[in-house]
């Protein structure tokens, strides 16, 4: 029995009600991990907590698992949102993977004036988030939105969620100070592209009541470094690292 296989599934998790896994997951369990009937797998679905399950039936492209015991209840505080201008090559995958490990509840790719990459592939980013959630043992998987324009993001942003915009031009307040006394789960962060935000975008941010421009210190960080750093500060100062 391979120890520690942990899978995210869509179906409900209740004792005694078998749940099917995807064809790819069945292939992974059977062909790669060589599991057989009776072997244990840990399951979570973002709603019913974490369950220990046993393989009830398995063949090349299908498997049914039988949830047996709930190991952890679904008691996870919702994390912050991260809106980000996609960056080239593996940078966007890195942002999605690290933000998932750091507990974000929603990931929103945003096209800003200086964004140089094309549309993001939502399914691929969502699969990256699932894999990171399985690995880091969180009980949920962040929602991954389709890429949207900055106008759409700002127009739909909820008034009760503070948006911290990472501003490398020095026009912001230190993030730890801005977060003091707040709750990371009720916040969101926005990082810019390789070329940064345009002057027009920065001017616009300054006029929005739900926005706080913040700085991550005197050095110019890569977008993926900035996203990671902001989430680390958020979880340490106002989030679930306490």
Please identify which residue in 197, 231, 233, 234 interacts with ligand SAM, judged by CB under 6 A.
197
Closest residue by Cα to residue 202 from 156, 176, 169: 169
Q: How many CB atoms lie within 10 A of CB 13?
A: 20
Counting residues that bind ligand SAM (by CB under 6 A) gives 18
**Would you give the DSSP letter of residue 59?**
E
Separation of alpha carbons 58 and 48, rounded Å: 23
**Measured from the CB of residue 199, what is the shortest distance to ligand SAM in angstroms?**
11
Whichever of 138 and 213 has its CB closer to ligand SAM, that residue is 213
**x-or-dash string of contact with ligand SAM, 150-179, rule CB under 6 A:** ----------------xxx-----------
Whichever of 50 and 167 has its CB closer to ligand SAM, that residue is 167
**163 and 205 in contact (C-beta within 8 Å)?**
no
- Is residue 223 involved in binding ligand SAM (CB under 6 A)? yes
Contacting ligand SAM within 15-54 (CB under 6 A): none
Separation of alpha carbons 59 and 161, rounded Å: 47
Residues composing the chain? 242
Binding site for ligand SAM (CB under 6 A): 166-168, 191-192, 194-197, 215-217, 219-223, 226
């Amino acid at each position: 029995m391979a120890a520690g296989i942990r899978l995210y599934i869509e179906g409900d998790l209740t004792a005694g009600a078998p749940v099917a896994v995807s064809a790819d997951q069945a292939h992974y369990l059977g062909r790669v991990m060589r599991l057989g009937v009776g072997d244990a797998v840990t399951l979570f679905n973002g709603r019913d907590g974490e369950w220990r399950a046993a393989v009830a039936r398995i063949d090349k492209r299908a498997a049914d698992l039988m949830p047996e015991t709930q190991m952890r209840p679904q008691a996870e505080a919702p994390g912050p949102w991260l809106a980000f201008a996609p960056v080239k090559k593996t940078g966007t995958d890195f942002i999605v993977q690290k933000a998932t490990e750091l507990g974000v509840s929603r990931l929103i790719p945003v096209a800003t004036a200086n964004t140089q990459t094309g549309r993001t592939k939502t399914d691929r980013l969502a699969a990256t988030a699932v894999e990171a959630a399985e690995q880091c043992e969180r009980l949920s998987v962040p929602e991954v939105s389709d890429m949207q324009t900055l106008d759409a993001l700002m127009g739909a942003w909820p008034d009760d969620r503070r948006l911290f915009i990472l501003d490398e031009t020095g026009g912001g307040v230190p993030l730890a100070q801005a977060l003091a006394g707040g709750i990371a789960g009720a916040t969101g962060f926005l990082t810019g592209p390789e070329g940064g935000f345009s002057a027009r975008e920065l001017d616009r941010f300054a006029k929005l009541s739900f926005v706080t421009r913040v700085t991550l210190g005197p050095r110019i960080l890569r977008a993926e470094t900035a996203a990671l750093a902001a989430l680390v500060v958020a979880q340490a100062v106002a989030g679930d690292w306490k």
